[in-house]
Amino acid sequence: MMLGVTPSGWLQLGFYMCVLTALAVPLGGYIARVLSGERTTMSFLLGPVERAFLNLSQSRPSEDMTWKQYAGAVIAFSLGGFLLLFGLLLAQGVLPLNPQGLPGLTPDLAFNTAVSFVTNTNWQSYGGEMTLSYFSQMVGLTMQNFVSAAVGIAVLAVLMRSLSRQSTDKLGNFWTDLVRINLYILLPLALIVAVILGSQGVIQTFSAYITAQTIEGGQQTLALGPVASQEAIKMLGTNGGGFFNTNSAHPFENPTPFSNFVELISILILPAALCFTFGKMVGDKRQGVAIFAAMTLVFVPMTVACIALEQSGNPHLIAAGADSAINMEGKETRFGIANSALWATATTAASNGSVNAMHDSFTPLGGMIPMILMKFGEVIYGGAGSGLYGMLVFVILTVFIAGLMVGRTPEYLGKKIGGYEIKMASIAVLFPCALVLICTAVAVLSPLGQAGIYNPGAQGFSEVLYAFTSAANNNGSAFAGLGANNPFYNSLLGLCMLFGRFFVLLPVLAIAGSLAAKQTVPASAGTLPTHTPLFVAILIGVIVLVGVLTYAPALALGPVIEHLIMIKG
């Protein structure tokens, strides 16, 4: 065992990373063609559909928008999506495809859920099969699973265009981008993944739940539903909102090791591929590789640590008479340690948030790793589009500091980074941090917040911290154990998700607007190289340092102290 990880653990991680990279590179190139408006292999099939959609929206694809127009379109579209979903959830009881006759949601839960899906967070205060009808899941949630991911990719496309264009304010058309991303990227990918998952036994049905007779003679209700179609985009769009309450630990969502592998790949495939899209769109593939490398170099060690921590488990288990200290609590035996830990890091590295094991039951430090990955601002792969644009915000900050050290005013890909970019980048980094810290403080101080904390001491603190970290960074996974379905948490977490999404997205668009207007300075020997291993190392240093420095005190009072108390016994 190296570093406390079994050979099979290493093998599974290595195999996973190889397959991921091998798929991400060509997919990244394909996405670049889609975002550049080029014809693709799918065009002959989907071209007419695309035109029909654009005619419907009365948008002329040739009409490029300024960043402000684009931001306006994003806000209008998200607001419309929110109102639609909010209304739909409230009125669920009278809408069709509701074989269980589930009632409408309370306003606070409907608000929380609608915000959650519109912001690509998929925090679930509701209980999946116990709360939502097939109609709500398919028409309401699945639609947002697609379009919220598309919005993220569209905003990224604007940022990429701003780096490759110069002296312009034209950055693409939101409606064209939205249609093309859904039609050419998300739908085909989701179709492929849904078919594979269906072949593994993920169910797809509209029939009512069935009641089965168990071998012991008891009665059990088996919840059913159109799962496969939603499962695919849930993973691909870094959404994570499970059809069932137990998410991908549920056998109808994730029945076999193969389905588990396909879903794992689906979590990271788009955020990883977008790195290569980036390299292609800015005309320097090395830049994309560098960013992918930076993400991978954070992800792999974190995963290894998580596997090792879960593998070494809790020393007290042996004392209590167990065969080994391995921490299998909250994990599915069909996945084991490596696949559960890999899922936990992948889902929090990307802003997916689906789970195949219960993070709350991880060892204190094992559970801290997913939390840290989210605290990095969801930029280690991150959400579809949002991960890379968040990463590019960090790149801008890194370039600013490192660039000065080479005796030039800082520039990235030939674009000077000035006060305006720094201001916007600061807002984008600051807001999620501020939301997490302030809301956690409010929750642990107020009686309403304390009422939801069921676990004592540091564990209870970690749960609250995890919830707000997840919401503000638009991840959506939860450290279960926190009673979050009440007006207090529903509204506070809802606001976190809302601000956490738009106070990153809007500054990013503003940066794009400013960069596009600038001239591109040609590279020379005096230019800070941003594709070298050294730059990657500095970038990682900045991300880790910002994450550590901001959250160190909070983490010390949560998982760190819990771990120390655990090993002391």
Partner 1 sequence: MTTQSQTYKPDMMGAVLAAFKRLDPRYQIRNPVMFLVWVGSVITTAILGVMFANPGTLISGGQPVWFVGLICFWLWFTVLFANFAEAIAEGRGKAQADSLKKARRDVSAKKLDKAKRQTVVAANTLRKGDLIIIEAGDAVPADGQVIEGIASVDESAITGESAPVIRESGGDRDAVTGGTRVLSDWIIVRVTADPGESFLDKMIGLVESAKRQKTPNEIALSILLAALTLVFLLACATLLPFSLFSVEKAGSGTVISIVVLIALLVCLIPTTIGGLLSAIGISGMQRLIKANVIASSGRAVEAAGDINVLLLDKTGTITFGNRQAVEFLPAPNVTARQLAEAAELSSLADETPEGRSVVTLARAQFDIAVRAAADIEATFIPFSAEHRASGVIINERHIMKGAGDAIAKLVALKGGQVPSGVNAAVEDIARKGGTPLLVAEGPKVLGVIYLKDIVKPDIKTRLAELRKMGIKSVMITGDNPLTAAAIASEAGVDDFIAEATPETKLKYIRKMQEGGEMVAMVGDGTNDAPALAQSDVAVAMNSGTQAAKEAGNMVDLDSDPTKLIEIVEIGKQLLMTRGALTTFSISNDLAKYFAIIPAAFATTYPALGVLNVMGLSSPLSAILAAVIFNALIIVALIPLALKGVKYRAESASNMLTRHALIYGLGGIIAPFIGIKIIDLGLTAVGLV
Residue 168: CB minimum distance to partner 1, A: 14
Our CB check for partner 1 shows the closer of 82 and 400 to be: 400
Residue 264: CB minimum distance to partner 1, A: 33
Give the torsion through C-alpha atoms of 153, 156, 158, 162, to 10 deg: -160
Q: Do 305 and 337 meet the contact criterion of CB atoms below 8 Å apart?
A: no
Residue type at position 242: G
Q: Please give the residues from 166 up to 225 whose contact with partner 1 meets the rule CB under 8 A.
A: 166
Our CB check for partner 1 shows the closer of 242 and 513 to be: 513
State yes or no: residue 471 binds partner 1 (CB under 8 A). no
x/- track of binding to partner 1 for residues 378-397 (CB under 8 A)? -------------------x
x/- track of binding to partner 1 for residues 427-446 (CB under 8 A)? x-xx--xx--xx-xxx-xx-
State yes or no: residue 419 binds partner 1 (CB under 8 A). yes
**Cα 176 from Cα 182, distance rounded (Å):** 10
Tokens of 283: 């005309």
Residue 4: CB minimum distance to partner 1, A: 19
Q: Do 313 and 340 meet the contact criterion of CB atoms below 8 Å apart?
A: no
x/- track of binding to partner 1 for residues 520-539 (CB under 8 A)? xxx-xxxxxx--x-xx-xx-
Residue 239: CB minimum distance to partner 1, A: 29
Q: Which of 128, 390, 403, 500 contacts partner 1 by CB under 8 A? A: 403
Task: Compute the residue count for the chain.
Answer: 569
Strand positions, DSSP E, 6-129: none
Per residue, the 3-state secondary structure of 453-515, as one string, reads: ECCCHHHHHHHHHHHHHHHHCCCCCCCCCECCCCHHHHHHHHHHHHHHHHHHHHHHHHHHHHH
**Cα 19 from Cα 61, distance rounded (Å):** 36
Q: Please give the residues from 328 up to 357 whose contact with partner 1 meets the rule CB under 8 A.
A: none
State yes or no: residue 325 binds partner 1 (CB under 8 A). no
x/- track of binding to partner 1 for residues 472-501 (CB under 8 A)? ------------------------------
HSE, side-chain direction, 13 A CA sphere, residue 6 = 12
**What element of type H or E holds 309?**
helix 285-312
Our CB check for partner 1 shows the closer of 75 and 445 to be: 445
State yes or no: residue 554 binds partner 1 (CB under 8 A). yes
State yes or no: residue 407 binds partner 1 (CB under 8 A). yes
Our CB check for partner 1 shows the closer of 171 and 436 to be: 436
Q: Which of 18, 79, 405, 451 contacts partner 1 by CB under 8 A? A: 405
Q: Which of 175, 461, 479, 499 contacts partner 1 by CB under 8 A? A: 461
Our CB check for partner 1 shows the closer of 153 and 467 to be: 467
DSSP 8-state symbol, 98: -
Q: Please give the residues from 117 up to 136 whose contact with partner 1 meets the rule CB under 8 A.
A: none
Residue 123: CB minimum distance to partner 1, A: 21
What are the beta bridge partners of residue 213? 219
Q: Do 562 and 462 meet the contact criterion of CB atoms below 8 Å apart?
A: yes
State yes or no: residue 552 binds partner 1 (CB under 8 A). yes
Residue 246: CB minimum distance to partner 1, A: 28
**Cα 117 from Cα 124, distance rounded (Å):** 9
Place of tokens 């889902």: 347
**Cα 2 from Cα 7, distance rounded (Å):** 8
Give the torsion through C-alpha atoms of 112, 117, 119, 123, to 10 deg: 60
Our CB check for partner 1 shows the closer of 267 and 427 to be: 427
Residue 549: CB minimum distance to partner 1, A: 5
Residue 468: CB minimum distance to partner 1, A: 11
Our CB check for partner 1 shows the closer of 103 and 529 to be: 529
Our CB check for partner 1 shows the closer of 18 and 556 to be: 556
**Cα 378 from Cα 348, distance rounded (Å):** 7
Q: Do 158 and 110 meet the contact criterion of CB atoms below 8 Å apart?
A: no
Tokens of 374: 């989210």
**What element of type H or E holds 203?**
none
Q: Which of 201, 301, 315, 553 contacts partner 1 by CB under 8 A? A: 553
C-beta atoms surrounding 16 within 10 Å: 20
Tokens of 196: 């594979």
State yes or no: residue 564 binds partner 1 (CB under 8 A). yes
State yes or no: residue 569 binds partner 1 (CB under 8 A). no
Task: Report the interface residues with partner 1, using CB under 8 A.
Answer: 166, 397, 400-410, 414, 417-419, 421-423, 426-427, 429-430, 433-434, 437-438, 440-442, 444-445, 456-458, 460-461, 519-522, 524-529, 532, 534-535, 537-538, 541, 545-546, 548-554, 556-557, 560-561, 564-565, 568
